Copies of this chain bind each other. A is one copy, B any other.
Amino acid sequence: MASKSEKPWAGRFRQATNPEVEKFTASIHFDCRLYRHDIEGSIAHARMLRRQGLLSKEEMEAIVKGLQKIRAEIEAGTFEFRLEDEDIHMAIEKALIAKIGKVGAKLHTGRSRNDQIALDMRLYLREEIEKTRDLLLAFRSTLKHLAQREMDTIIPGYTHLQKAQPVLLAHFFLAYDAMFARDEERLREAYQRVNVMPLGAGALAGSGLPLDREYVAKLLNFPRVSENSMDTVADRDFVVEFIFVASLIMMHLSRLSEDLIIWSTGEFDYLRIEDSFATGSSLMPQKKNPDVAELVRGKTGRVYGHLMAILTVLKGLPMTYNRDLQEDKEALFDVVDTLKASLSIVSTLLKHVDFNRERMEEEANKGFITATDLVEYLVIKGVPFRDAHEIVGKVVAYCLEKEKTFSDLTLREFKKFHPSFGPDVREILSARESVRRKKTIGGTSPERVKEQLRK
């Protein structure tokens, strides 16, 4: 059990912390993950204190060396984290004092855990956003690579999960690329708001000591310092915003996963996942399941949940720092891990999928999928759009009744529905031709898709 005197803040306290309280409030078991950022921040802080005359050169050097040693120990796995150290800040400060003596007690000069944790979190998240962006870029490369490869593959495009119009498989991949391009933009913007130096805000009011916040910012490579000390320690917007962008990315991944899952059914049979990327059943020997895509879809809920959690935590919280804010970390860490793993594995998965191109094109020629082309055919011949739509609707109804497809119809039969139908109607009935004609910007014709790919 922790004795009263061990707590560095316990001067005014006459009782030791109750062990259940200690356990309940401790964050060391998860915020130890921030050790590297905490030490990096402390080193910059110490250098600044030295520059401002609040530490001597020797003191500063002793502190920096001590911190580096602690970092090495943590990385070597020889550092012992103890519950009664509360959090990563206290654990490191106590270890520092144990290692270099009294002078370690000067490190926290002009600093509060409130601004210190804000710094650690921002250093951590800055780094993780960079990694996430790299993964996102890699994923987008995969999508573009696939788009390039499948520039000639025709698939049925769906609305309402019903065949709508044929499109290029390349176009499908570029649709996802467009979503992730927006997400990348959002990540970049969120990054700007993370990349602000909070240290020096103190507990909430700033400091009465002559701290040089801009020097710390420079050492830690922050382009600017935060502008209001109360806001600085109360603010977790940057955490929420990142989790939101992660939620959007997961949402987009969940849609892609759903497409992959549906396409890998025996009934669609549009793709086969390689054996190394599927898993089997403990009971049914024939099973090969798209587990990766299902799990990614499921993990979307997990990330949404963390978004709701942190929003709830912040709702109605009075100014400024409140202990509720400690709940931001586990959520954030889990989002970072989930997001990175999901981006990485879906990107790899896509490389281990074999598309059944023949079957897709075959299906893209079914289901009256070129009916809209017939409408446009009539429109060009001068039939008002809404009438053309109704005429083709009747052709479809006729075919359904006679169990025919458009291609089975004679010109004579076509002409019964409208005199404008001519022999050239045959030319527009194939999926491939339909795709070729979608030449509006952003449309699925090969030249437009190539244009997208170039951008």
Closest Cβ neighbor of A441 among chain B residues: B213
10 pairs across A/B with beta carbons < 8 Å? A12-B394, A159-B203, A159-B281, A162-B288, A201-B443, A228-B452, A266-B366, A294-B324, A298-B326, A301-B312
User: Are B205 and A443 in contact (CB-based, < 8 A)?
Assistant: yes
Output the nearest chain B residue to A5 by Cβ-Cβ distance: B390
Contact of A12 (CB < 8 Å), options: B20, B182, B288: B288
Give, as a whole number of angstroms, the nearest-CB distance from A87 to chain B.
9
Which of B279, B297, B306 meets A316, CB within 8 Å?
B297
A282 and B108 contacting across the interface, CB-CB below 8 Å: yes
Is the C-beta of A25 less than 8 angstroms from some C-beta in chain B? yes
Contact of A160 with B441 in the complex, beta carbons under 8 Å: no
Given A203-B372, A206-B442, A275-B13, residue A175 in contact with residue B230 (CB < 8 A): yes
Contact B311 A251 (CB under 8 A): yes
A208 / chain B contacts, CB cutoff of 8 Å: 372-373, 376, 434, 437-439
CB atoms of A384 and B105 under 8 A apart: yes
The reply to whether the CB of A72 lies closer than 8 angstroms to some CB of chain B is no
Give the Cβ gap from A396 to chain B, nearest Cβ, in Å.
Answer: 4
Does any Cβ of B come within 8 Å of A125's Cβ?
A: no
A445 CB-CB contact with B under 8 Å: yes
| Residue A416 CB within 8 A of the other chain | no
Instruction: Say yes or no: B327 contacts A285, CB within 8 Å.
Output: no
**B contact residues around A265 at 8 Å (CB):** 161-162, 267-268
A139 interfacial by beta-carbon distance below 8 Å: no
**What is the bound-complex CA distance between A297 and B326, given in angstroms?**
11
Report if A28 contacts B (CB, 8 A).
no
Cα distance A38–B242 in the bound complex, in angstroms: 34
- Whether A295 is near chain B, meaning CB under 8 Å from some CB there, is yes
- Scan residues 322-381 of chain A and give those whose CB is less than 8 A from a CB of chain B: 322-327, 330-331, 341, 344-345, 348, 352, 363, 366-369, 371-376, 379-380
A102 to B305: give the CA distance in the assembly, Å.
Answer: 44
User: A residues 71-105 with Cβ under 8 Å of B?
Assistant: 86, 89-90, 93, 97, 102-105
CB atoms of A283 and B393 under 8 A apart: no
A204 contacts B by Cβ under 8 Å: yes
Chain B residues with Cβ below 8 Å from A234 are 175, 255
Residue A282 contacts which of B8, B176, B255, B311 (CB distance < 8 angstroms)? B8
Interchain nearest-CB distance for A15 vs B (Å)? 4
Q: How far is the CA of A200 from the CA of B280 in the complex (A)?
A: 20
User: Do residues A164 and B103 form an inter-chain contact, with CB atoms below 8 A?
Assistant: no
Task: Tell me if A237 is interfacial: C-beta within 8 Å of chain B.
Answer: yes
CB atoms of B247 and A281 under 8 A apart: no
- Measured CB to CB, the nearest residue on chain B to A392 is B285
Residues on B with C-beta less than 8 A from A214 are: 441
A308 contacts B by Cβ under 8 Å: yes
Residues in B neighbouring A420, C-beta threshold 8 A: none
Chain B min CB distance to A174 (Å):
5
B237 lies within 8 A of A182 (CB): yes
Q: Which residues of B contact A104 (CB under 8 A)?
A: 386
Question: Are A323 and B298 interface neighbours, CB within 8 A?
Answer: yes
A444 within 8 A of B: yes
Q: Please provide the chain A residues from 420 to 437 with a CB less than 8 Å away from any CB of chain B in the complex.
A: 434-435, 437
- Nearest chain B CB to A105's CB is how many angstroms away? 3
